[in-house]
């Protein structure tokens, strides 16, 4: 809608969404419909992303939680690399984000926004060859280790840090003090106009 307000036509707008959890995936499709986002503008992938491609499992229900309401209450589903006692899993496909973005060649990407439950370092390594086409990246983080990796990754590449809020605490922001569970890091490509 913002792009339309700036005079872009539907043919010049591409919105790519990626969500492996079935209910949350359906929410994205409902959002497109409720906001009159034309099909020509939107591309949805019901997969998880990382730096590999294969079948995998997604944590779907936390231990001792109600499976009938868990998708409504929890937005922290992650690729299951190891067991979590009494957790439930669903089968999913994992794709490389670079493979998805290569389907839209020669495009400047205004914003990449992700919160992918610990896959951030793997995905950043996967898309590093595409960074020259990206203007801004916003990342929701899940661990101090991932935050440190992300800061070094962008500092080494000369990107400008525009937001840096560590997770798990009260942080001073441009709108006042805010409580963060996940961290939020935002970077701008200083070489991309």
Contact status, residue 150 vs residue 186, Cβ threshold 8 Å: no
| Structure token digits, residue 129 | 């060859």
Residue whose tokens read 């495009």: 107
- Residue 39 has a pLDDT of 86
Q: Residue 105: pLDDT above 80?
A: yes
Q: In 3D, which of 126, 66, 56, 134 has the Cα closest to residue 98?
A: 126
Residue whose tokens read 């009260």: 170
Query: Can you give the residue ranges of every domain in the chain?
Result: 1-105, 106-193
pLDDT in tens, 1-27: 788 888 888 888 899 999 999 999 999
Dihedral sign computed on CA atoms, order 14, 163, 97, 27: negative
Give the CATH architecture of domain 106-193.
3-Layer(aba) Sandwich (3.40)
Q: Which residues contact 12 (CB under 8 A, 6 or more apart)?
A: 3
- Residue 26 has a pLDDT of 94
Q: Residue 193: pLDDT above 80?
A: no
- Residue 191 has a pLDDT of 83
- Per-residue DSSP letter, 145: H
- Residue 180 has a pLDDT of 94
- Residue 192 has a pLDDT of 67
Give the pLDDT band (50/70/90) at residue 38: confident
Task: Lowest mean pLDDT of 32-36, 99-103, 117-121, name the range.
Answer: 32-36
CA 123 to chain centre: 10
pLDDT in tens, 85-101: 999 999 999 999 999 99
> For all residues of the chain together, what is the average pLDDT?
93
Instruction: Report the predicted TM-score, pTM, of the whole model to 2 decimal places.
Output: 0.90
Radius of gyration for the chain, computed over Cα atoms and rounded to the nearest angstrom: 18
């Amino acid at each position: 809608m913002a792009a339309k307000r700036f005079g872009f036509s539907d043919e010049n707008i591409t919105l790519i969404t990626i969500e492996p959890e079935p209910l949350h995936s359906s929410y994205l499709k409902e959002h497109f419909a409720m906001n009159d986002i034309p099909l020509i503008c939107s591309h949805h992938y019901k997969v998880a992303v990382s730096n590999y491609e294969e079948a995998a499992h997604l944590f779907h229900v936390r231990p001792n939680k109600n499976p009938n309401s868990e998708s409504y209450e929890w937005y922290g589903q992650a690729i299951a690399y190891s067991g979590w006692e009494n957790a439930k899993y669903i089968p999913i496909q994992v794709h490389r984000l670079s493979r998805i973005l290569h389907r839209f060649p020669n495009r400047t990407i205004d914003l990449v926004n992700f919160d992918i439950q610990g896959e951030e370092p793997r995905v950043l390594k996967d898309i590093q060859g595409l960074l020259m086409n990206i203007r801004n990246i916003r990342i929701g983080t899940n661990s101090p280790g991932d935050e440190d990796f992300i800061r070094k990754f962008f500092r080494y590449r000369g990107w400008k840090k525009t937001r840096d809020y560590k997770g798990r605490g009260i942080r001073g922001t441009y709108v006042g003090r805010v409580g963060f569970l996940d961290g939020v890091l935002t970077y701008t490509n200083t070489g991309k106009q």
